[in-house]
Structure 1
Amino acid sequence: MGIARMAQAQGSAPQAPAPYTPPPARGPFTAAVDSLRASTVPAWFRDAKLGIWSHWGPQAVPRQGDWYARFMYVPGHPHYDHHLKHYGHPSEVGYKDVIKLWKAERFEPEALMDRYVAAGAKYFVSMGVHHDNFDLWNSRHHRWNATQLGPMRDVVGDWSRAARKRGLRFGVSEHLGASHNWWWPSHQCDQFWPKLGVAYDGAKPENADLYHEPHNTPYLNRGGDWYTTNPKFHEIWYRRIIDLIDSHQPDLLYSDGGIPFGEVGRAAIAHLFNTSVRRNGEMQAVYNHKALGSGEFIREVGVQDVERGVLEGINPLPWQTDTSNGDWFFSEHDRYKTPAQVLTMLCDIVSKNGNMLLNVVQRADGTLPPESDRLLTEMAAWMAINGKAIHGTRPWKVHGEGPTEAAGGAFKEDTAYTPQDIRFTTRDDALYALTLGEPKGVVNIASLRSGNAHESRPVRRVELLGAGPVRFRQSAQALQVDVPERLPSRHVSALRIAFA
């Protein structure tokens, strides 16, 4: 009997495993908080304003939406019922078998990237790995990856080449940090006949590198935590994220949560920043993380990400909303945002010093559903006329005016704006006023009334983008602008205002 087993036999608690210590940093940034705080957000991100995200992978195959891989192991959930009906019981046919059905046979990244550029994207983000623990690149440390199963291609690499060919900055998203606890249901079993007590395929030892070794730490909505304290998984996470960074040299890395695992996560950020310095001669990388749930949130490190929501007012630091035009993965039951909803939300975000990272839903085969196709078409038409009021802009002295204000915080994005809601941006000494709706007759801008507290210079010229100069009057109540009956663009109109 070894010493450890003797200690346990005598009633003492087993020793906790030693924490994983990542390798020392190679470059000016280290895992120390103060070192990472010395980073600044690069100008390219502040100028970009709009990124397109491909939140895409095997979970699109069943056409049931987000978190299919998890909830197919939760009896009573619609995903479980769907899986039982269409694929079989999860003790026999599990998520590992769904992965093999993802062929991406009509995936054309070059053609899609042309659509994204036309729609106004200045950066593109590829899913790197979702909570399902399936890597979308030629992963050195994980056999469950897209070059070995499913599409049999390096999806991240294909996206990277298409984006960079068109001058876009390229990013990757990692959701791997939560995977260990997220997969907990796959280790369980039914509590009823005819499969009472029959373990799901996630409990089988031969599948442990996909579903993780069985453990008793459920995801937080069942009393557990988003991130595991298991140092063995910390090392797995670190090695794979470093491989993702080294393989594809992203300009942006997104983590779905706070910074994972303390020093381990901060070491990965330092590696991202240091590789950017070596590649560019200066730090040009962005790290996204959330002030939500588990992990560290350090406001001065990288860029705060707000899932499906906005911040209130003009934030002094650049930030980002991540959202989708539908569910995160394709669902045949989806309810999609309209182009008007996406564009008005974008204008509100930009007026507050933020960026929008927009997932455009794809089917499993790589094609776009009609709603995504329509969104990109209408965004391209709008950006061709109004893009100069978005790209390269900065906030004004106030973000906007009008009867409608979005609530601040995550998961609060169902705001219905009116043409009387106006948002401001500035560029090249001009002020842009964006109406969050299609105006009729006269646009009244109270913030620019004569004698206002924001701008002492009188208005010299007002131009409706896409139509040219328009008549205006500056009174004690408002700047009143006459707009033509036929507007040059739908959804949002942009006025360029010059001062004497």
Structure 2
Amino acid sequence: MFISSLSIKRLVSRALILSFFVLPTIITQAQEQGVHPQSTQYEWPADPAVREKLEHWRDQKFGMIIHWGLYAVPGMIESWELCSEDWISRDTNSDYGEFKKWYWGLKKDFNPTQFNPDQWAQAAKDAGMRYLVFTTKHHDGFCMFDTKQTDFKITNGPFANNPKANVAKYVFDAFRRKGLMIGAYFSKPDWHCPYYWWPMYATPDRNNNYDIRKHPSRWAQFKQYTYNQISELMHDYGSMDILWLDGGWVRPLETVTEEVKGWGAAIPAWSQDIDMPAIAAMARQAQPGLLIVDRTVHGPYENYQTPEQRVPDKQLDHPWESCITLGNAWGYVPNDQLKTSAKVIHQLIEVVAKGGSLLLGVGPSPQGTLPEPVVQRLAEIGSWLKINGEAIYNTRPIQGYQSGNVYFVQSNHSKSVYALALLDENGPVPATIEWDVNTPAPGSKIKLLSTGAPVKYTVKNEKVIISVPSAVQKAKGNPALAFEFIVAAD
């Protein structure tokens, strides 16, 4: 997507035009090739403060992940086009060196004068979200906080004199005021840092581009750089609940398992170890009970798993979160195709019934606001959760979690069980809802959450048949019905 003779202005315009035709394909490829797989092992944290925080996080169920950086300016896929892997699509006439210069040069054009973190936080609150993960630094190395480790940051450019130039601080503050848990996304790989991608060598793929075994002092500088940046985030940006570490190929070599191989780039023969024990100790001294999510690096620093752009096939008995985009892209892309609110609600219900949480991805515009279609979609999701959130928040998985299009969860604080029936968003509400697991206790009532009133039901041959009230049948646009009841004892 680069032709060196074009001016930046024409190039950005061209990128915006191409987004209608090319970017959806690139983004789809990115989701298929650049995603993190899910770990197959899990280790419960030993620290009681971390266990307590983890259980609190498991009650929240629904969060927002915000990707925002240089890539918002042309409206292109986040960071990945800097990478020379065979799944990446750039203009066939482009010069890779010139492309990188252009991309790094976007720092001169990133001036989000309408930056409005309060709008973002209000949209998340209106959606019924309970926690935030914000990209303080993506793989491209551009920092959305006022780090002292590099000048490649939002506070060193046209936005530097804005009162809210230290973007991450104001994002975290805005979401704290709305009562959300706070998470800092941080990319372990840093493609701009000369200690990760050494300018002396080419940059063939996502990995560091020199043999660490031959240049240990250079890697030691990268480890210190990483430690210092995370320390800044943990000490200077208020109370933190989650340190969400991306780029799972940066890891000790001995932790590389079969599920990690074949991500689009081979794992090198040397260890890209950044000393997570030291980072975790420092971070938790500053932020007691901090959840650390070292994605796909199973062990004591992956406090919950993060399957990306998918929902696991079956229920899992340990903490996890599906991180899924609202549109096709993680960051801002003009005219991105958004999922319907019904689709998101259906995914949320399935995720929660399988024991997880949903982290929904959105991208603010280069000016600094969430696009109105995104805000509207989030509000629609929140409207459903205001009525039915009792069946989502503060719940835990139940053994019989699905019967057809009906999913089940149990309250974490009472004996209540909830049945959530997915409805066809384009079809009529059925006259009856049926399931064949979780039979109500004899003589007990089943309450429809949207009305607060009990509904008529029968049990025949261990099948529960709910009669949906006629008024509910006539209502349009309801993506799911939620019922509360007490299950019969075994």
Q: Secondary structure at the match of 1:136?
A: coil
Q: 1:213 to 1:266 in 2, by over 3 A?
A: farther
Q: Secondary structure at the match of 1:346?
A: helix
Residue 440 (structure 1) shift: 1.0
Q: Is 1:287 matched up with 2:292?
A: yes
Matched residue, 1:305: 306
Q: Is 1:244 matched up with 2:233?
A: yes
Q: Is 1:96 matched up with 2:97?
A: no
1:259-301 deviation per Cα after TM superposition (whole angstroms, max 9, x unaligned): 7454612321222222222xxxxx2x2111322xxxx321674
Residue 220 (structure 1) shift: 5.4
Distance 2:189 2:394 in 1: 35
RMSD: 3.4
Matched residue, 1:253: 243
1:112-150 deviation per Cα after TM superposition (whole angstroms, max 9, x unaligned): 211211211111121110001011111021111111125
- Assess if the C-alpha contact under 8 Å between 2:85 and 2:204 holds in 1: no
Matched residue, 1:57: 69
Distance 2:43 2:342 in 1: 42
Q: 1:361 to 1:322 in 2, by over 3 A?
A: same
Matched residue, 2:431: 441
1:125-144 pair list within 5 angstroms? 125-144=133-152
Residue 221 (structure 1) shift: 9.0
Q: Secondary structure at the match of 1:443?
A: strand
Distance 1:92 1:316 in 2: 44
Residue 400 (structure 1) shift: 1.6
Distance 1:399 1:161 in 2: 37
Q: Secondary structure at the match of 2:461?
A: coil
State the TM-score, normalized to the length of structure 2.
Answer: 0.74
Matched residue, 1:218: 204
1:292-337 deviation per Cα after TM superposition (whole angstroms, max 9, x unaligned): xxxx321674111111123343322211111211201222363322
Residue 370 (structure 1) shift: 4.4
Equivalent residue letter for 1:325: L
Residue 158 (structure 1) shift: 0.7
Equivalent residue letter for 2:58: R
Distance 1:74 1:424 in 2: 42
Q: Secondary structure at the match of 2:397?
A: coil
Matched residue, 1:429: 415
1:82-121 pair list within 5 angstroms? 90=98, 93-121=101-129
Matched residue, 1:190: none
Q: Flag structure 2 segments of 5+ consecutive residues without an equivalent.
A: 1-41, 252-271
Count of aligned pairs between the two proteins: 404
Aligned to 2:474, which of 486, 489, 495?
Answer: 486
Distance 1:477 1:429 in 2: 21
Q: Secondary structure at the match of 1:358?
A: strand
Q: 1:385 to 1:83 in 2, by over 3 A?
A: farther
1:70-91 deviation per Cα after TM superposition (whole angstroms, max 9, x unaligned): 15x789965446988xxx9826
Distance 2:298 2:474 in 1: 48
Matched residue, 2:190: 179
Aligned to 2:448, which of 461, 464, 469?
Answer: 464
Aligned to 1:147, which of 118, 139, 155?
Answer: 155
1:332-391 deviation per Cα after TM superposition (whole angstroms, max 9, x unaligned): 363322212211111111112211111123221122334412321211211111111111
Distance 1:67 1:359 in 2: 16
Distance 2:411 2:301 in 1: 24
- Assess if the C-alpha contact under 8 Å between 2:108 and 2:157 holds in 1: yes
Q: 1:400 to 1:151 in 2, by over 3 A?
A: farther
Matched residue, 1:270: 281
Q: Is 1:474 matched up with 2:459?
A: yes
Distance 2:315 2:284 in 1: 27
State the TM-score, normalized to the length of structure 1.
Answer: 0.72
Matched residue, 1:157: 169
Residue 222 (structure 1) shift: 12
Equivalent residue letter for 1:48: Q
1:433-487 deviation per Cα after TM superposition (whole angstroms, max 9, x unaligned): 11122441100011135xxxxx7x3361112211222111122141111113134
Distance 1:312 1:299 in 2: 25
- Assess if the C-alpha contact under 8 Å between 2:401 and 2:409 holds in 1: yes
Q: 1:473 to 1:383 in 2, by over 3 A?
A: same
Q: Flag structure 1 segments of 5+ consecutive residues without an equivalent.
A: 1-32, 184-206, 278-282, 403-419, 450-454
Residue 252 (structure 1) shift: 0.5
Equivalent residue letter for 2:128: G
Instruction: Give % identity.
Output: 23
Matched residue, 1:46: 58
Q: 1:236 to 1:441 in 2, by over 3 A?
A: same
Q: 1:350 to 1:396 in 2, by over 3 A?
A: same
Distance 2:176 2:398 in 1: 31
Q: 1:392 to 1:34 in 2, by over 3 A?
A: closer
- Assess if the C-alpha contact under 8 Å between 2:145 and 2:168 holds in 1: yes
Equivalent residue letter for 1:480: I
Distance 1:351 1:426 in 2: 11
- Assess if the C-alpha contact under 8 Å between 2:45 and 2:51 holds in 1: no
Q: Secondary structure at the match of 1:40?
A: helix
Equivalent residue letter for 1:101: D
Residue 66 (structure 1) shift: 3.0
Distance 1:314 1:446 in 2: 18
1:286-435 pair list within 5 angstroms? 286-291=291-296, 296-298=297-299, 301-326=302-327, 327-332=329-334, 334-402=336-404, 420-427=405-412, 428-435=414-421
Equivalent residue letter for 1:247: D
Q: Secondary structure at the match of 2:337?
A: coil
Distance 2:92 2:334 in 1: 15
Decide which structure has the larger Cα Rg and report it: 1
Distance 2:79 2:196 in 1: 15
Aligned to 2:223, which of 234, 253, 271?
Answer: 234
